[in-house]
């Protein structure tokens, strides 16, 4: 089956690389209490792959999806208390199958569309110091239809950071992104760094969870003002899989 190739999830990657040169900000190293509200929305696609007994790909269906989320975090160092809520919606073809002797070749025909929706809520708690941070919470999810987010009703959520967020650091997360899928994947790990001379922050790593294999992930945060930060996320990989999202973080004392 021919695969459609979408470029929307790749379009943000050059933007992420160029924006730090265009919009400047200096990361705020203050330890004072503050509240951050984040909004994010994205689009993407994952591959539903059928393989034969030898592992060869028989066909690939590209499943488009959209998702969005809002998160609120209050920091009173070293404590963080927060919650996020969001929605994930996908649409796939419904098929009928026939088999042709003598080789019994499988033929499938599209007979309509199937749409499914998953909604989730995720309260969480964390402890954050200059060189170390850890978060833990629970993700409650509800599904309508056969969603790829075929998870338990309640799932553990968490994140870990080692290193200085205003310099170099390693981080990994499970169900931690905003939005949940297009924001970097259900699971991600990688390295982040602050470009002090360029006054920006970037994160490079791998993300996965609903995709056929791990995808490369690029995250960028660019300040519009001292209180408003633009959050850009891009993912890409094999079989035309990928996603892109745009968000904004609003910081208040």
Environment class of 181 (CB within 10 Å of its CB; exposed 0-12, middle 13-18, buried 19+)? buried
CA angle 76, 79, 82 (to 5 degrees): 90
Give the separation between CA 167 and CA 191, rounded to whole angstroms.
Answer: 11
- In this predicted structure, what is the pLDDT of residue 41? 97
SS (HEC) of 59-125: EEEEEEEEEEEEEEEEEECCEEEEEEEEEEEEEEEEEEEEEECCCCEEEEEEEEEEEEEEEEEEEEE
Cis amide linkage into residue 131, ω under 30° from 0: no
The structure tokens listed for 249 are: 């973080």
The rounded Cα 45 to chain-centroid distance in angstroms is 12
- Asked whether the beta carbons of 203 and 219 are under 8 A apart, the reply is yes
- In this predicted structure, what is the pLDDT of residue 1? 40
pTM (predicted TM-score): 0.79
pLDDT tens string for the chain (253 positions)? Answer: 434 444 444 444 444 444 444 333 333 444 579 999 999 999 999 988 777 777 777 777 888 999 999 999 999 999 999 999 999 999 887 666 666 676 656 666 666 788 899 999 999 999 999 999 999 999 999 988 777 788 889 999 999 999 998 899 999 999 999 999 999 999 999 999 987 766 689 999 999 988 888 999 999 998 888 899 999 999 998 888 999 999 999 998 7
- In this predicted structure, what is the pLDDT of residue 251? 92
């Amino acid at each position: 089956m021919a695969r459609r190739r979408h470029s929307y999830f790749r379009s943000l990657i050059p933007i992420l690389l160029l924006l730090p040169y265009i919009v400047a900000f200096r990361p705020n190293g203050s330890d004072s209490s503050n509240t951050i509200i984040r909004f994010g929305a994205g689009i993407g696609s994952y591959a539903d792959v059928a393989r034969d007994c030898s592992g060869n790909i028989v066909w690939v269906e590209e499943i488009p999806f959209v998702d969005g989320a809002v998160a609120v975090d209050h920091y009173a160092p070293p404590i963080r208390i927060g919650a996020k809520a969001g929605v994930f919606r996908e649409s796939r073809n419904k098929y009928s199958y026939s088999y042709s002797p003598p080789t019994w070749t499988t033929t499938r025909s599209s007979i309509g569309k199937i749409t499914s929706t998953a909604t989730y809520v995720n309260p969480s708690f964390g402890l954050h110091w200059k060189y170390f941070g850890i978060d833990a919470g629970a993700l409650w999810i509800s599904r309508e239809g056969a969603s790829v987010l075929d998870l338990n009703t309640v799932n553990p959520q968490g994140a870990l950071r080692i290193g200085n967020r205003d310099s170099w650091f390693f981080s990994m997360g499970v169900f931690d992104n905003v939005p949940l899928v297009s924001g970097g994947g259900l699971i991600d790990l990688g390295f982040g760094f602050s470009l002090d001379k360029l006054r920006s922050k970037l994160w490079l790593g791998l993300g996965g969870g609903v995709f056929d294999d791990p995808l490369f992930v690029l995250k960028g945060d660019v300040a519009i003002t001292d209180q408003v930060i633009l959050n850009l996320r891009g993912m890409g990989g094999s079989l035309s899989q990928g996603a892109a999202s745009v968000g904004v973080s609003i910081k208040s004392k």
